[in-house]
Chains A and B, each alone.
Chain A
Amino acid sequence: MSDKKTTVIAIANHKGGCGKTTTVINLSAELAKMGLTVLVIDLDPQANASLHIGKKHPSEVAVTCAELLLSEVEKLPLSIHSDTNIEGVSLIYGSLALGTTEDALKDNAPRPSEELRDKIKPLHGIYDVILIDCPPSLKLLTSNALAAATHLIVPVESGSQYGMYGVTDLMKLVKKIHRINPDLELIGALLIRHDERQTVCKLIEASAKDQIGKLIDVRIPTSTKVNQSAIAQMSLHALDRTAKVSREFRHLAELIAQQLNLMDKNSKHG
């Protein structure tokens, strides 16, 4: 097992509400359905991913990302919760305290952007895929995610001018992070809430490809199922596997698994 290659995917974009958490949850669920072992790391102080898939409330969790980042690596096993609302998906909880963690890292850590990478190093070879849900900011937490990741997905709200503004800044940060993490590879922009009948969506589609460079060939449509699944604390797959939005996430997982040879690596050790 120990030579299993672990793919760490950061889902980042500092625009709020562009679908980071939705992507993390449903991509993790679909990858797990395919038989991969998946860990979700919730780096967002709002902890929405944790509230969605965690069995506990983040405030009741002793070791969340906030504590993990600021303590010794011994706390790592205590931070991983394998019993979640999605089968086959483990979770390191986020918490409100992550807000202050950022300041503490800046003040105390020798290499503030590389704490997460060091802390999760022992997990390489244990999980097939680790998905990191980033906060809606470009500060230290996002830098930590990018430094720890092997791959990056940038969800973009289709049709939104505002979402495009921020992408330029994100790409600048990615460039900077390449100095400490040269292997970070962009999977591409993921268009969310896409409606191909709308002119604005077509416009942004072209612009996203231009600005980010790569576009993932999947379009996640607008769907009320997304909000329903958050309330139900389920994956879209569990809520309604036949809905279009669920099918698109399945398609996304298959595409990524294929592109990154996830199944191949797994079967070799299976």
Chain B
Amino acid sequence: MANDLKKMLEQKLQQNNRRHAAADQSVEFSEGREYCLIALDRLDPNPYQPRRIFPKDELENLAASIAEIGLLEPILVRKIDNRYQIAAGERRWRAHKLLNKHAIEVLITSITDSDMAVFALAENIDREDLSDYEIGLALRQIENIFPTKKKLAESLGFNREDMYRYFSFDELPEFIRTDLNSNPRLLSRSAASDIKRLLKKEKDTPMIDSCLKEAWSLLLANELDQTKLTGYINKKLKAFRENITECHIQSSYNLIQDTKKVGNIAWTDKHITVKLNVNAINAEQEQKIKDFLEEILKGKLTKV
């Protein structure tokens, strides 16, 4: 072969291949749905990710399976400026990091915030490994995206009652929530809603805080089951109340009129309480009581 022909062919071949490799041949993909490889460090987790904890052993198992058979499904991402946000597949992304991989296969899509939130939750909600507490937090995060609570419940397939159980987590005291943040499995949604109801009922009982703290530390020490937590507190409160009655009321009398009880008088270390049925006295008698009180106390009754 003539030398100059060989040279020409050599150059031409390079040129042709370069031109073809550089060509944008993405026509086969519809816009916005395209598989590609993206460097791990250009990906960010879903801001609506409900999962608080990624247990190390689970991630290691996943990584081992990816190393063995590869990634079965690309993860779903959306583009935000020059980076990509993971809509579904954060665990797979983390597993890729564990494997020291450089990039991961992704499907780029364009989805809205509410879709991002629903994706994140829906992907996890049916799995046993997402705790009620995490679901509750996630619901709070996304509730404003939906016009009503009803719509929120519908789009996730919850019934309303159950959804409010999830919401009860954020009415729990700070110390419980702090523990839940590091160990979300401590409390189920029904135990949480029991506690919430009890706190509401006993909001004027000063003892309730210390009782709850005591019960909670027993639960943390594994000495009290979460289902028995409110029962334990109720028992404590009841015992306290009985105690209070015994200590404080020093003596009491019933007031009898024609063999019928019309009232009583009780003495504690702070008060004397007189209780009288309104029908037991007429207006004149009532005035007499007022006058009598003013006289012996050398005081005055003033209307409040």
Chain B hits for A232, CB < 8 A: 8-9, 12
Assess the A57–B20 pair: CB atoms within 8 A: yes
Within 8 A of B (CB), among A207-244: 228, 231-233
Question: Given known contacts A51-B20, A57-B23, A59-B23, is B28 in contact with A99 (CB within 8 Å)?
Answer: yes
Tell me if B9 and A228 are in contact (CB < 8 A).
Answer: yes
Asked if A60 contacts B23 (CB within 8 A), the reply is yes
Interface check A108, CB cutoff 8 A: no
CA of A100 to CA of B28 in the docked complex: distance in angstroms? 7
Residues of B238-295 contacting chain A, CB below 8 A: none
Chain B residues with CB below 8 A from A150, complex form:
none
Cβ contact within 8 Å between A231 and B9: yes
Output the nearest chain B residue to A228 by Cβ-Cβ distance: B9
Is A142 interfacial (CB 8 A cutoff)?
no
CB atoms of B28 and A97 under 8 A apart: yes
Which of A51, A60, A66, A99 contacts B16, CB < 8 Å?
A51
Cα distance, A24 to B12, chains bound together (Å): 21
In this assembly, does B25 line the interface, its C-beta being within 8 Å of a C-beta of chain A? yes
Residues in B neighbouring A99, C-beta threshold 8 A: 28
Number of B interface residues at 8 Å Cβ cutoff, please give it.
13
Least distance between B15 CB and chain A CB atoms (Å): 9
Contact of A97 among B8, B12, B19, B27 (CB under 8 A): B27
Nearest-Cβ distance from residue A179 to partner chain B, whole angstroms: 32
| A48 CB → nearest B CB, Å | 11
Task: Tell me if A's interface is mostly helix, strand, loop or mixed.
Answer: helix
Per-residue interface assignment for chain B, residues 19 to 31, with 1 indicating a CB less than 8 Å from any chain A CB and 0 otherwise: 1100111011000
Once the chains bind, are A59 and B8 in contact (CB under 8 Å)?
A: no
Residues on B with beta carbons closer than 8 Å to the beta carbon of A100: 27-28
Residue of chain A at shortest CB distance from B8: A232
Question: Is A95 an interface position by the 8 A CB rule?
Answer: yes
Q: Indicate if B13 sits at the interface (CB-CB under 8 A).
A: yes
A187 CB within 8 Å of chain B: no
Is the beta-carbon distance between A233 and B28 smaller than 8 angstroms? Answer: no
Set B12, B20, B28: member contacting A231, Cβ < 8 A: B12
| 5 A-B pairs with least C-beta separation | A59-B23, A97-B27, A57-B23, A231-B13, A231-B9
Q: A59-B27, A231-B9 are in contact. List 13 more A-B contacts (CB 8 A).
A: A51-B16, A57-B19, A57-B23, A59-B23, A96-B25, A96-B28, A97-B27, A99-B28, A228-B5, A228-B9, A231-B12, A232-B12, A233-B12
Residues of A within 8 A of B (CB): 51, 57-60, 66, 95-97, 99-100, 228, 231-233
The 24 listed contacts between A and B (C-beta, < 8 Å) are A51-B16, A51-B20, A57-B19, A57-B20, A57-B23, A58-B23, A59-B27, A66-B27, A95-B27, A96-B25, A96-B27, A96-B28, A97-B28, A99-B28, A100-B27, A100-B28, A228-B5, A231-B9, A231-B12, A232-B8, A232-B9, A232-B12, A233-B12, A233-B16
